[in-house]
Structure 1
Amino acid sequence: MTRQRGGGGLVLLAVLSLLAVVALPLSFIALQAVFPAIASGSLAAPFSPVLAILGAPALAGSMLNTIVLGLTVVGVSAVVAVPLGVVRGLFRLPLQGLWDVLMLVPFMIPPYIAALSWILTLQPRGYLQQLAGFHLQGFLFSFWGIVFVMTLTGLPVVYFAVSRTVGAIGGRLIEAARVAGASPWTSFLRIVLPLSAPGIAASLLLVFALTIEEYGTPAALGAKSGFEVLVTEIETRVSDWPIDLPGAAALSLILVCLSLAAFLVQFRLLARHSFETVAGRPAPSAQASLGRWAPAVLPAFALVVLLATVAPLAAILATAFSRTLSGGLSPANLGLDNFGAVLRSGAAGLTALGNSLLLGVGTAAITGLLGTLAAYVILRTRLRGRSLLDALTVLPNALPGVVVAVGLILAWNQPWLPVTPYNTPLILLLAYCCILLPYPVRYAGAAFRQIGDSVEMAARIAGAGRFTAFRRILVPLVAPSVLSAMLIVFSVASRELVASLLLAPAGMATVSTYIWKQFDQGSVTVGMAMSTVTIAISTLMALALATLIRRSTPP
């Protein structure tokens, strides 16, 4: 069936692409961790890098720090975001659309930019001290300061997952339970919470994975307090002399195991503790009024929005429009000088912005095409090994950016390769595609599941080949979902940090490496001007695409 009129070409392209983008870098990490001299063709001293890492005194501390940081961020996120999500799903909030937009903004701010904005706010002579007369540097450059910043950046993941899950389940079933005599609290505990628990747990486990993979915040805040995690250890071994690729590969395997453990727990929870309703398609129900709880709920939303959205954005904008950082919050110190330094013709900032936009567009186009092909092969063919391909599309979710970067260095920096993308912009494109491939695959897969087999079968009966049916019928139907995923890919790729730091060719800058370099050199105001431009571009593109999809979708 897959060999008919172009179908074999689709399958072969999807399989080879997944192997090159995902399987190759991970395979070289495993080989380098086991055989330290594999680059020279020797299999001597197997497992010595792993044994050396396991015996290193610093490993226990970094690994414990990584796990404790992830669990703590998950716990604080659960305490803050789960109640807010439940309230948003079950109750009618004043200006609830605005609250959703404000809660989404932290996702548009790169985590390392959020960390740098909090440094500017809480450090001595920072914005907090200028406004209130005191600073919180001791808190910020500590374990709890790192938890504070990472919790704020991860809030949207939990908030939107919980609010949408509870909203889809809660109102209608609570009304039925109330008719049967249950109290609102009993209805929530006995019905809504069990049905929502898998979604809540999945979002919290995703926060754990994102936390242990994040490089920018621990690197920016943990250096002064000596708080090392696995990601910063890997980056140090790859970037500082003497370079220790076997040690970095061994640490990468440990980090991958931690990430995979989180996702395996998520899959087990979804498989063993899922519940279904049997009342047919859910009907929308009116959300309840907050009533007497409004005076407590609305200030809670306002406080979270103030910390997660308003404060970082205010610090970013205040710094971007300041002529000098030492000038402080003074009208005389405001101007557009920093934007001129970033955007003037021939400036390094404009070149970096152009590089990131091109890489973001290229990554979105490639992953959109590859994700659609992979989802089609997995769901619409009878190819043997489809489950393995499906696993390859999920695996990048558990691969931190630093691990992907190490894998690509090991795979494409071999002395025996006649041609290599290493030290060219193509290596960044490969890294971004590997990290972000799961988004288009999952979005396209969800769209394919909503399209019945009869549509494709009708085209085949009418004489269309598999490729023609795929190109002329299925692709237009899944295009809105794939375009949404491509927007996410573009937003993340155009600001990705750790892989860019490790893989960017000599003399080439991206937005993230430019900003990081500006902060490292003390040009904070110019770095924040670039951050402002990047956030504005991502937001405008999101609004434009949302408008396009809404207008093109039939009522």
Structure 2
Amino acid sequence: MATPRPSLHLLPAALAVLALIPVVVLPLAYLVYGSTLDTESATGAGRVTFERFGEIAGNADYRQGILNSLKLAVATGVGSCIIGVLIAWIVVHVRPPGRNVIDALMIVPFFLSSFVLAIAWAMLGNPNNGLINGWISDLVGRDVVPLSMYSFWGIAFVIMTGTVPFVYMLTAAALGSTDPSLEEAAAMSGAGRVRRLRTVTLPLVAPSILAGVFFAVVFAMESFAEPAILGASIRYNTVLTDIYLAVENFPIKYGTASALAVVVMAITVVLVFVQGKLLGNRSFVSLSGKSGSGADISSGYGRRARLALLLIPVGYLVLAVVLPMLALALISLQPFASPQITELTLQNYEWFFSDEANLRALRNSGITSAAAAVASMLWMFVLAYALRRSRFWGSRVVGYVALLPIAVPGVVIGVALLWISLRSPVLIHGTLIIIALAYVARFSPFVLRSITAAMTQVDVALEESARMSGAGEGRVLRDIIFPLIRPSLLSGGVIFGLFSLRDLNTVVLLSGPTNNTISMQIWSMYENAQLPLVAATAVVQSSILLALVVLGRWLGRAPTVRSSTVDADEPEASYPSRREGGSPASLASPALARHGGR
């Protein structure tokens, strides 16, 4: 009879669970409490009332901001669905030349800072002196203004460049794992290509498409930099820009900002809840023990058709990566921003690496991201083991609370932690501690998803065999659990570092002169219209992010578990290694580990 699963050492497990209170529960509770006070001060006492929400409902500007956020969310969701699904279908079913390169490059826009991409497109699509308009004017020989990114569709487009990869990866993973015999049977029954796509393929991958669309919608709801940069000149406000202005402008309105934050948090939580309901009670089984004939489902497409369809993913990558990065590189090499290249210089990069404020911001980002990533990995490892292996009363609720920050926009978490820092008896406001705490609160759920997905695939029998052979709990963790989940743990840490290094939304309300991060340094320079310096700093940040992507792929290699883990006489093949986090899909998001990588 199998031995019962023992609990992790009680004290570490209890501390991991209790840590959710100060990191997640308390800040959000303070946020809700602050939204009900009749004072705009974050430190003074006030009377509990719900009048603040009535004031928001009665204010036309605030109502318009909420409506604008919802419109952007819908447009982003629909656009990301169309583009992401189409590219996934081309790569998996049409299989054009270079599909493996396309598949690998599709994760790049996901990791580039959306804030930096918004700045790049502001340089490209400025109606007065944008690079694209300047290039077209030089080409046709007269002044033209064919493109302006300062519009609703310009904002939605920039947001979509970061959400299309998620829809693509989820859909491509699902398309690659469906049983080809189903389409073969439909074809043999006389169904045409369009009908097979509509009645067989799309229904089978509907859960993945829906999950990707909901992610795009939530991502758009929490987008701050894009409307702040591209919408300011046309007075296109969203609920998040209203929150920022409520805190940054004088008089400061902490109460109003908190109430708006509660509204947007409620919207995103409802969206995640609806997604769970839509997917939770339906069956989408498409894999079985029987394999298909293995026929090439792309055989109906000629070479010319494949090359023509290849232009769609290539065009997307050009717009999402090549053009923005080209614009940043060109502007960073000029003494002033201009469509005409009159002089190339490295003085902007020399300034970046010689200016103490830039170096301090870079150090602050590195220190806070690394410290927060290590703390999050240790915390989430213990918490994941407690949740997956040590069933206790309330574990389901604890799991929901741990994942709650996924549904909470970064600006909202920033407002919540602002309340904590201003009311804390210990001085943490304006320090690196509050920045690191914000990163842990915001991005730890991604590490948890990565670890739990890997831990689910570890057979409990391996642990039970080790214990029956006399191995203690510590040795089981060291020699069994950790080697098998190490790639996912390290990939989760790298993803944490990527998200924190590029983050602006969470820290925009928490940063000051002494705890500035690299993203806040770019933001400050952009507000001062120092475009060549902004471009050089953005290129440095993007290079660091791309290097971390490569590091994450390298760390996601398959582990080798020592054959002596349990019994020296046991063959090594008894302990199969697991690869988790090595594919673009699993590196792009820990949540994708549940769906399988391509």
Q: Give the SS at the match of 1:437.
A: helix
CA distance in 2, matches of 1:371, 1:5: 16
The letter of the residue matching 1:306 is V
Pairing 1:29-40 to 2, within 5 Å after superposition: 29-36=31-38
Q: In proportion to residue count, which structure has more helix?
A: 1
Structure 1 unmatched ranges of 5 or more: none
Comparing 89-98 with 221-230, which one deviates more in the overlay?
89-98
CA distance in 2, matches of 1:5, 1:259: 34
CA contact (8 A) 1:174 1:184 kept: no
Match in the other structure for 1:11? 13
Q: Give the SS at the match of 1:506.
A: coil
Pairing 1:92-241 to 2, within 5 Å after superposition: 92-123=95-126, 124-133=128-137, 136=145, 139-169=148-178, 171-178=180-187, 182-241=191-250
Match in the other structure for 1:469? 476
Comparing 215-224 with 541-550, which one deviates more in the overlay?
541-550
- The 3 A distance-change label for structure 1 pair 172 and 437 is farther
CA contact (8 A) 1:22 1:396 kept: yes
Match in the other structure for 1:20? 22
Equivalent residue in structure 1 for 2:268, among 259, 262, 282: 259
- The 3 A distance-change label for structure 1 pair 270 and 4 is closer
Match in the other structure for 1:90? 93
1:313 aligns with 2:325: yes
Pairing 1:53-452 to 2, within 5 Å after superposition: 53-123=56-126, 124-133=128-137, 136=145, 139-169=148-178, 171-178=180-187, 182-277=191-286, 279-280=288-289, 286=296, 288-289=298-299, 290-291=301-302, 293-326=305-338, 328-330=339-341, 333-344=343-354, 347-414=356-423, 417-452=424-459
The letter of the residue matching 2:353 is L
The letter of the residue matching 1:126 is G
CA distance in 2, matches of 1:449, 1:551: 16
Give the deviation of 1:136 after TM superposition: 4.7
Give the deviation of 1:476 after TM superposition: 2.1
Q: Give the SS at the match of 2:516.
A: coil
Match in the other structure for 2:535? 528
- The 3 A distance-change label for structure 1 pair 370 and 173 is farther
Give the deviation of 1:531 after TM superposition: 1.2
CA distance in 1, matches of 2:82, 2:556: 35
The letter of the residue matching 1:33 is S
Give the deviation of 1:221 after TM superposition: 0.8
CA distance in 2, matches of 1:277, 1:200: 15
Give the deviation of 1:4 after TM superposition: 6.9
Comparing 100-109 with 244-253, which one deviates more in the overlay?
100-109
The letter of the residue matching 1:478 is I
- The 3 A distance-change label for structure 1 pair 139 and 170 is farther
- The 3 A distance-change label for structure 1 pair 159 and 420 is same
CA contact (8 A) 1:237 1:248 kept: yes
Q: Give the SS at the match of 1:298.
A: helix
Comparing 206-215 with 497-506, which one deviates more in the overlay?
497-506
CA distance in 2, matches of 1:21, 1:200: 32
Comparing 50-59 with 69-78, which one deviates more in the overlay?
50-59
Q: Give the SS at the match of 2:557.
A: helix
Give the deviation of 1:409 after TM superposition: 1.1
CA distance in 1, matches of 2:144, 2:429: 45
CA contact (8 A) 1:5 1:467 kept: no
Equivalent residue in structure 1 for 2:515, among 508, 514, 521: 508
The letter of the residue matching 1:481 is S
Q: Give the SS at the match of 1:280.
A: coil
Q: 1:231-264: CA deviations, max 9, x gaps?
A: 0011111121111111111111110111112111
Q: 1:11-60: CA deviations, max 9, x gaps?
A: 11211222221111111111111234696685624223223222323222
The letter of the residue matching 2:254 is L
Give the deviation of 1:387 after TM superposition: 1.0
The letter of the residue matching 2:322 is V
CA contact (8 A) 1:318 1:329 kept: no
CA distance in 1, matches of 2:108, 2:291: 30
Q: 1:130-179: CA deviations, max 9, x gaps?
A: 32105658731111111122122221111111112112115353235445
- The 3 A distance-change label for structure 1 pair 41 and 195 is same
Give the deviation of 1:280 after TM superposition: 2.5
Give the deviation of 1:434 after TM superposition: 1.1
The letter of the residue matching 2:268 is S
What TM-score, normalized by structure 2, do the two folds share?
0.86
- The 3 A distance-change label for structure 1 pair 215 and 170 is farther
CA contact (8 A) 1:324 1:333 kept: no
Comparing 356-365 with 272-281, which one deviates more in the overlay?
272-281
Count of residue pairs the alignment pairs up = 550
CA distance in 2, matches of 1:48, 1:3: 52
CA distance in 2, matches of 1:473, 1:505: 45
Q: Give the SS at the match of 1:81.
A: helix
Give the deviation of 1:473 after TM superposition: 2.3
Structure 2 unmatched ranges of 5 or more: 138-142, 561-576, 580-598
CA distance in 2, matches of 1:36, 1:466: 53
The letter of the residue matching 1:317 is A
Q: CA RMSD in A?
A: 2.5
CA contact (8 A) 1:198 1:270 kept: yes
Give the deviation of 1:278 after TM superposition: 5.5
- The 3 A distance-change label for structure 1 pair 78 and 49 is same
CA distance in 1, matches of 2:454, 2:278: 24
CA contact (8 A) 1:128 1:135 kept: no
Q: 1:446-499: CA deviations, max 9, x gaps?
A: 101100111222233334444442344212211101211211111110121122
State the identity %. Answer: 28
- The 3 A distance-change label for structure 1 pair 153 and 357 is same
Give the deviation of 1:388 after TM superposition: 1.1
Match in the other structure for 1:456? 463
CA distance in 1, matches of 2:131, 2:241: 28
CA contact (8 A) 2:522 2:538 kept: yes
- The 3 A distance-change label for structure 1 pair 246 and 187 is same
